[in-house]
Amino acid sequence: MNYFFSFPFFKVVLISIGIFVVLDLLWLAVIARSLYFQQLSYLALVERGRISFNLPVGLLAQAIIAVGLVVFVSLGLLVQNQLPTALAVGAFAGFVLYCTYDLTNLSFVKDYPVAITIVDIAWGTLQGLFAGVYVYFLTRWFVP
């Protein structure tokens, strides 16, 4: 348990937050931008033909998700320190985290798109898988 309060763990967390945020911003602002605009603009603040994000709140949400993924993957690595374990735990954790958000939205937001639910859960699972990779290697580099 001391590991989670160690300087090496905090280095893994900080670098992981950076990686997660860059990947998520790339996804939201470039790769899937038109899909999210087409499907969710009726719920969003739209300025100059684009969805306007509350960046501080969005970054906070991304940081919290990233820290959660680091903790889950690290717990898996404490049980079995192998890349396949990190990948499996990361993908499952990403799946659960994004299912929580998207299925909650689907359950009560009027006309919430099923397509966005499916795409976003798939993205979250992939983000978790990526986290498994970088947390595994960061841990190998920074943790004695």
- Per residue in 86-101, pLDDT tens? 999 999 999 999 999 9
Q: What is the pTM of this model?
A: 0.93
Give the number of other CB atoms < 10 A from CB of residue 116. 18
Q: Judge whether 38 and 32 are in contact, CB under 8 Å.
A: no
Average pLDDT, the chain: 95
The DSSP secondary-structure symbol of 39 reads: H
- Per residue in 104-140, pLDDT tens? 999 999 999 999 999 999 999 999 999 999 999 999 9
* Tokens 């079995």 found at: 80
Q: Judge whether 28 and 39 are in contact, CB under 8 Å.
A: no
Q: Judge whether 100 and 91 are in contact, CB under 8 Å.
A: no
